[in-house]
């Protein structure tokens, strides 16, 4: 019985979802490179990818400046 409990706990630890997982946006955007620097210090490939990340992952995100960070 103990073995079963240990196996169950290990399975949850190995495959469980954590809050630390990175958010992935799946909105369609072109591959045109016109970089935008986000307030999170990340350079986004273009305004569309920035907007998609903002909508799906971080609503408080703002544009720090056009171009690379």
**Residue 21, phi then psi, degrees to nearest 5:** -65, 140
Separation between Cα atoms, residue 69 and residue 58, nearest integer Å: 18
Q: Which residue in the block uniquely carries the two structure tokens 């630390």?
A: 20
Q: What is the DSSP letter of 45?
A: S
* 29-63 pLDDT tens trace: 999 999 999 999 999 999 999 999 999 999 999 99
The pTM (predicted TM-score) of the whole model is 0.66
Kindly tell me if the per-residue pLDDT of 18 is higher than 50: no
Query: What's the rounded mean pLDDT across residues 7-23?
Result: 52
Q: Which of 20, 58, 19, 12 is nearest to 39 (CA)?
A: 58
Mean pLDDT of 17-39: 82
d(CA 46, CA 61): 14
């Amino acid at each position: 019985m103990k073995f079963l409990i240990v196996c169950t706990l290990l399975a949850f630890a190995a495959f469980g979802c954590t809050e630390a997982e990175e958010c992935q946006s799946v909105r369609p955007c072109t591959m045109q490179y016109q970089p935008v620097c986000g307030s999170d210090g990340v350079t986004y490939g273009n305004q569309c990818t920035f907007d998609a990340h903002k909508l799906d992952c971080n609503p408080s995100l703002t544009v720090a400046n056009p171009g690379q960070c």
